Amino acid sequence: MRKNFILAIFALVSTVAMAQEKCFWVFFTDKNDTQFDPYSYFDAKAIERYEQCGADLYDISNFPLNESYVNAVNAYSTEVFGESRWLNALGVTATDDNAALIAQMPFVARVQEIVSKGTLASLRGTKQSRLEDFDVINDEDAPVEVLTDQLKRFGGQHFIDKGIDGKGLRICVMDGGFPKVNTHPAFQHLRDNHQILKTYNFPNKKEDVYGWSTHGTMVLSCIAGINDKGQKLGLATGAEFLLARTEIDPEPFKEEVWWAQGAEWADKNGADIINSSLGYGKDRHWTRDMDGTSYVAKAANKAVEKGILICNSAGNEGDDKRWMTIITPADAENVLCVGGINADLEKYTHIGFSSYGPSADKRLKPNVVAFGIADVADPSGGYTIAAGTSFASPLTAGFCACAWQTMRNKTALQMKAEIEKSADLYPYFDYAYGYGVPQAAYFTNEHEPAVRTFNLVQEKDGVRITFPPIFDFNNEDVFINVEGEDGVLLGYYKLSPDKKNGIVLKNKDFGEGKKLNVSYHGFYDFCPINGMGGDINLLANNRNSQNGTFKEVKKEGWQTSFFLQLDHPLKSNQWNGSNAHFDFGFRWMYGKTYKIGMGLGLGWNELICRNKDGQLDLLKGETRMKNFQLRGELFQRIAIRLWGINWDLGVYGGVNATRNITLIENINWTDNDGNALNPQPYDSKVVTYISGAKAMNRFEYGATTRISYSIANVINIGVYGSYRLSPVITKEDFLLGSPSNQPSPWSVGIEIEVAP
C-alpha cells in the first residue's frame, strides 16, 4: 500500500507538470459574414501609413474573426486567451479530447498545439524569455563615456545637431512590463508632452502596464530616455509611444499569441515602428524552425507589409555552441534583426552572447548591430548599465525613427534597406556583424566617401591583400569572407592587417566559383576566386577566432551531458547503519523545453549495518556490503525559465555488477580467570564473503526528482532526491538477518551535470 501511495504521488506530480490542458492555435477556414469599416477601426495615423505604403485597408486580414466560430470554439475551451485577425486564429487552452472535437468543426481549418520544448536559453545564468536576456552589470550611475558611446557609435551627434529626434514617428514597444515609466525622471519629457498615447496589457486584458518586468523600462529608455544629467539615453526623444505588455515569465505557451495580437494592436493604433526586444528560440523551437515560418514571424512580415518597420533582438545564444542561429521573429525576412557588439569605439568586437546568423534557410542575419551594453533607466529611480541584445535593438529603433524622419516618403521595407546601406561595413556582411552599425551621417547627407585602404592583387596561386603604408587606423581589423555562388557565406573572419607582407589567400584553400569580400576602415572591395577545387580550410568559424575551419554546428537532435552524483539516505529509526551511493555517467536528452531523457551510469554503493539490540539477530558486529552498479534512468526535464532552473522527474533501475560482503565480529577481552573486562574493549576478526549469482541478479529501482540551476546553459548544479521501491536487504542476505530492517527509502544528494 505504501509503495502504491508513493507511486501515486509521483504520478500526480508528473501529471500536473505535464498539464492536461494544453494551449492550441485554432485556425478558421474563412471570415464569412463579417463586416469591417477601416475608418472607424484604425487610428488616423494608421490610415495615413496604409495609404503611403500602398497597403489595402480592406484586406481580408484586417476583418474580424467570425463571432459564431469564436463562440463555438469557446464552448469547448477552458480559456480563449488571444486571437489574431491576421492569422484568422484563436489561442485557446483545452484538453486533448476537446481539441479533437474542435478540429472536427466544419469551419476549423486545423488545430495546432502550441509547443514549448527546449532548454533554458540564458546569458550567464540570467533568464531569457522571450524577454531577451539581460545582465545588469552595475547599479550606480553609468560612466559618461559609456552613455556617450552608445549614441556616438551611430554618429548620433549628426541627428542631435540638426534637431532630429524622431518627431512625427510613432513607436510601439512590446515587452514584459514598464514599471515606474509613469514616474521615473528619465521619461518626464514623455509625460509632460503626452507622448505616451496608449497602453495595453494583453496577459491581464487591461490598460495598466506600469508594473511587472523591469526589462521594458530599460528598453524604453534606450529609445527615448534622458538621464539626470540631461543626456540622451536614446535618440528618439521626440517620438510618440504605444506600450504593450505581451510577456509574462514564466509562460512558454501564450506569449507568441500575445505578440501577434500586440503587432495588430500597434497597426490599429498607427505605429510606424515596433521594437521587440523579445524572442522565441531554443526554449520552444528547433533551429530548423528559425526560417521565418513561425507564426510570430508571419505576423511580423504582415506588419511590415502594412507599413511598420520592426526592430528585433537577434538573441543571446551566441555562447551556446549547440544553437548557433538567431531567434524568431528576428528570422522573418522583413524584420531588421539587431545583434550586439562591445561598447568600444576603438575596436569592432562582437559581444560574446549575441546570437550569430544565418537564419535556418541561410538568409543574412543579423542585419545590423549596435552596442550590446547600454546605459539604461533603472526602475528603482536611478540609472544602471545592462547587457543583452535586448538593448541593441531599442538603440537601433530610436536611430530608425530619426532616420525615417529624414525620409518620410519611404516605406518600411525601403527604410530597412536604407538602414542596412547606412551601416559602416556595407556592402560587406557576415553572420556576426551583419552590415555593421548604421550611421546617422548617411541620412543627414554628411557621409564622407570611403578612401581606398587596401588593394586586392590577383597572383598566380591566390589573392594578396596589400595595405598602403600611409594608413594606420588604430590597429583596426580587416574583415574577410568567402561567399558561395548562392550568396551563402562559406566562412569569415577578421584579423590585423600585415602592413609589410599583406595578407595572402591561396586559391587551393578555397575552390572555384567563390567570391572574396574584404572591408577595412569603411572601404570595401571584392574579387572572384579562381582556384581549382579544394575545401575552405583557412577561414575561422563564426566565433571570431583567428584561424580555423568554418563548420556548421550541430543544431538539433540528441544532446549529451556528463554527470556526477553523490547521494545518501535520510535517517531511519529502524536502521542502524548507512548507505551511500556514488554515480557517474552520461545522459541523453531529446526535445525542447519539456525534454525526454535517459541516462546510463556506473555507480559505487557501500552499505554499512551495525548491531542494534538484536534487530539483526545474526549480526555480531558490523556488516559491510560493497557493490558496483550499472544504473539507468528515464526522466522528463522541465525548464523553469523564471529562475534558470531545470526540474527532472523520472524513474531509475540498477543491476548490481558485483558485491563484496564483509563481516566484522566483536571479540570480547577477558582476564586470566575468564571474567569480562569492564569496560569491554574489543578486537575484531574480518570474514569476507564474495556473493555469487544471487547478487549479480539483484535489481534496485525507484522514482527520482532533481532540481538544478543552469549556468551559461552548460553546467547544471543541483540537488537530487529519490525514493527506492525495492528492498536493499533480502532473505538471501543471511549475514544481515531480518529483511524487514532496511535503510530509509528516501535519499538526497548533490550532482553536477556538464553539457560539452
pLDDT for 436 beyond 70: yes
What confidence tens digit (pLDDT) does each residue in 236-262 have?
Answer: 999 999 999 999 876 667 888 999 999
Residues 187 and 270 in one domain: yes
pLDDT for 539: 36
Residue 120 lies in a domain: no
For 78, the domain range is 21-113
Answer yes or no: is pLDDT of 197 > 60.
yes
Highest mean pLDDT among 233-237, 638-642, 674-678: 233-237
Question: Residue 98: which pLDDT band, with cuts at 50, 70 and 90?
Answer: very high
In this structure, the answer to whether residues 213 and 89 fall within a common structural domain is no
pLDDT band of residue 557 (cuts 50, 70, 90) is low
121 lies in some domain: no
**708 lies in a domain?**
yes
How would residue 482 be classed by pLDDT, with cut points 50, 70 and 90? confident
Of residues 687 and 537, more confidence is placed in 687
Q: How far from 636 is each of 340, 520, 588, 601, 749, CA to CA, in Å? A: 34, 50, 11, 17, 19
Minimum mean pLDDT range among 389-398, 541-550, 557-566, 641-650: 541-550
More confident position, 175 or 620: 175
Q: Would the pLDDT of 303 be above 80?
A: yes
Residue 657: what pLDDT?
66
Q: How confident is the model at residue 647 (pLDDT cuts 50, 70, 90)?
A: confident
- When divided into structural domains, the chain yields a total of 4
- Whether the per-residue pLDDT at 109 is higher than 90: the answer is yes
* Residue 549 forms part of a structural domain: no
Length of the chain: 756
| Structure-block grid coordinates of residue 216 | 521594458
Question: Residue 126 — pLDDT band, cuts 50, 70, 90?
Answer: very low
Inside any domain, residue 167 = yes
Is residue 538 in some structural domain?
no
Per-residue pLDDT tens for 38-58?
Answer: 999 999 999 999 999 999 999
Q: What is the mean pLDDT of the chain?
A: 80
Query: Nearest to residue 332, comparing CAs of 439, 247, 243, 256?
Result: 256
CB 558 within 8 A of CB 586: no
Longest dimension (CA), the chain: 117
Order of strands across the sheet that contains 22-28: 79-84, 89-94, 22-28, 108-113
Q: Which of 529, 550, 582 is the last residue of a domain?
A: 529
Asked, as a colleague might, if the bond just before 252 is cis with ω within 30 of 0, I would say no
Higher-pLDDT residue of 613, 371: 371
Q: How confident is the model at residue 705 (pLDDT cuts 50, 70, 90)?
A: very high
Q: Tell whether 325 and 366 lie within a shared domain.
A: yes
What is the pLDDT, as a whole number, of residue 497? 84
State pTM to two decimals.
Answer: 0.73
Looking at the fold, whether 184 and 317 belong to one and the same domain comes out as: yes
Q: Residue 709 is part of a domain; what is its CATH number?
A: 2.40.160
Q: Which amino acid is at 698?
A: R
Residues 598 and 707 placed together within one structural domain of the fold: yes
Whether residue 433 is found in the same domain as residue 459:
no
End position of a domain, from candidates 510, 529, 548: 529
Is the model more confident about 331 or about 131? 331
d(CA 186, CA 197) in angstroms, rounded, equals 17
Q: How confident is the model at residue 134 (pLDDT cuts 50, 70, 90)?
A: low
- Picking from 82, 113, 144, the residue at the C-terminal end of a domain is 113
Q: Is residue 541 part of a domain?
A: no
- Give the pLDDT of residue 210: 95
CATH of the domain at 396: 3.40.50.200
Residues 140-152, mean pLDDT to the nearest whole number: 58
Say whether pLDDT at 267 is over 50: yes
Region 361-390: what's the mean pLDDT?
92
Asked if 343 and 463 sit in the same domain, the reply is no
| Whether residues 383 and 486 fall in one domain | no
In the sheet where 514-520 sits, what is the strand order?
489-495, 478-483, 514-520, 523-529
**Chain segment 583-609, per-residue pLDDT in tens:** 888 888 876 555 778 888 888 777 776
Average pLDDT over residues 10-25: 59
pLDDT of residue 445: 92
pLDDT confidence band for 578 (50 / 70 / 90): low
Q: Average pLDDT in the 92-113 region?
A: 94
pLDDT of residue 656: 73
Residue 433 and residue 425 in contact, taking contact as beta carbons nearer than 8 Å? yes
What does each C-alpha distance from 201 to 245, 264, 320, 537, 580 come to in angstroms?
5, 14, 32, 52, 52
236 part of a folded domain? yes
**pLDDT in the model for residue 747:** 87
- Domain identity same for 50 and 81: yes
Q: Tell me the three cell numbers of residue 491.
A: 566562412
From the list 511, 516, 538, the residue with the least C-alpha distance to 526 is 516
What was the pLDDT predicted at 422?
96
Q: Are residues 277 and 311 in the same domain?
A: yes
